[in-house]
Amino acid sequence: MVEQNELLLKEIEIVRKEIKTDNFSMAIRELVQVYRDGDLELFPSYQRLFRWDDNQKTRFIESLLMGMPTPPIFIAQTKGSKWTIVDGLQRMCTVLETMGLLKKSKHEESVLAPLNFTHTEKLPSIEGLNWITLNADAQRIIKMSKLDLKIILVEDNVQAQYELFKRLNTGAVVLQPQEIRNCLIIMVNEDFYNHIEDLKTFPPFVKAINISDAKTIVEFPMELILRYFISKKQNLDFSEYNISNELLSDFIDKETIKLLNDKNFNIIDEIALFKRVFKLLNQLLGEKTFKKYVEDKDEFEGAFLQSSFEAILPGLSHNIEFYENEGKVLLLDRIKKMYSQPQFIQGALRGKKALVRIKELKDFSQNYFANDN
């Protein structure tokens, strides 16, 4: 126990030396000028994920006018780079939108209209006003209000930024793992995000997964798309993980980073293949694609099964040419018979650790759906 504690203290000492921070307060007018100078990166695409409504935005402005303390804004800075807000985005965007300065997108100069304030409990007279109609004294109070900034110097790599964002997801709105992942993908590679975001509404995919609105809201379709890309990788190395204990969300995070860094991963080609796979599945099974086949009834029943998703796609995607042509009837037959295969049954056992299941079903899929069987 003594040795373990000594080792822990050494680990703490090493890690604390690696983390360099700077804390100070800055008036909103000064921070706005940093934004105008182009030195504050907000990634406006986050607006698609920006979940404060006008009431929440107005309450934040009310807090500034009342002189109430607000949580700190965390900013990541790689050596010599611009500032990137990793926690506090809603607050900063609200300030800029209030003042009519928030750009609509990263690539254009046009801005959103100033926020129209809603009713608040403490300052009811603010309702209906905006920056243009707000008097100069109230404007001055907002501009002179100070925000606490915590600058964290991070390594210039994807992993460091990803880790920082996950740890600092402290906002009032609790994000699900895939929602955090979406923010990080935008931060690292906005084009990649835009491409896979479009796939979420690809009709054959939507029909095949056939999931609830509640799961759609928390970005489960986006998670499934990433899991598809990850599971079909030929060089997916499970030996890097303790598959009995590794959390699925951490596994997806790490493999997503690898995709973003993989120069051989051609997103255009992969999307084309994705669409071929789901068009074929849609032709054969539609919304029954990932439901369990019940032989006695000759019918697919129940809800979407992750085990079906994991068992069908890796093998099918690597043999799509065969199944699109002479193998259509065989594919349908193999999917039906899949549920009685001992290796599938073993891999899909209820209660099995997620990574163990994914590995076993990937191995099964690549063998079972090979076109030489």
Q: For position 127, what pLDDT does the model report?
A: 97
Output the pLDDT for position 18.
66
Q: What pLDDT does residue 34 have?
A: 94
**Could you tell me the CA-to-CA distances from 283 to 272, 276, 287, 324, 336 in Å, in that order?**
17, 11, 10, 10, 15
Least confident of 104-108, 217-221, 253-257: 104-108
**If you average pLDDT over residues 199-221, what whole number do you get?**
91
For residue 12, the model assigns a pLDDT of 87
- Which range among 34-38, 131-135, 360-364 shows the weakest confidence by mean pLDDT? 34-38
Question: By C-alpha distance, which of 373, 237, 233 is closest to 314?
Answer: 233
State the helix-helix crossing angle for 306-317 and 354-368, rounded to 10 degrees: 40
Q: 35-49, 140-154, 165-179, 301-315: which range is least confident on average?
A: 165-179
Residue 322's pLDDT band, with cuts at 50, 70 and 90, is very high
Q: What phi, psi does 101 have (nearest 5°)?
A: -120, -5
Q: What is the mean pLDDT of residues 306-335?
A: 96
pLDDT of 156 over the 80 cut = no
Return contacts of 68-71, CB within 8 angstroms, 24+ apart.
Answer: 70/147, 70/148, 71/148, 71/170
Residues 50-79 have pLDDT tens digits of: 568 999 999 999 999 999 999 898 888 876
CA distance 23 to 46: 25
Angle formed by the axes of helices 328-338 and 306-317, to 10°? 150
In which element (H, E) is residue 13 found?
helix 2-18
Confidence band for 161, pLDDT divided at 50, 70 and 90: low
**What pLDDT shows up at residue 169?**
62
Instruction: Map residue 22 onto helix, strand or coil.
Output: strand
CA–CA dist 367, 373 (Å, integer): 8
**What's this model's pTM, rounded to 2 decimal places?**
0.74
Give the pLDDT score at 342.
96
- Beta pairing partners, 162: none
Written as six digits, the tokens of 158 are 């994807």
21 — pLDDT class (breaks 50, 70, 90): confident
Give residue 300's identity as a one-letter amino acid code. Answer: F
Query: Given the DSSP bridges, would you call strands 299-301 and 146-153 parallel, antiparallel or unpaired?
Result: unpaired
Determine what percent of the chain is predicted with pLDDT higher than 70: 90
Better-scored residue on pLDDT, 253 or 109: 253
CB 271 within 8 A of CB 199: yes
How far is Cα 229 from Cα 255, in angstroms, rounded to an integer? 9
Average of pLDDT values for 311-322?
97
* CA contacts within 13 A on the Cβ side of 284: 23
Give the tens place of pLDDT for each residue, 214-248: 888 788 999 999 999 999 998 899 999 998 888 99
Kindly report, residue by residue over 167-200, the tens digit of the pLDDT. 766 555 566 788 878 877 877 787 898 899 889 9
Q: Is the pLDDT of residue 323 over 60?
A: yes
Alpha-carbon gap, residue 290 to 361, rounded angstroms: 14
Over residues 324-335, the pLDDT tens digits come to 998 999 999 999
Residue of 100, 94, 8 whose CA lies nearest to 53: 94
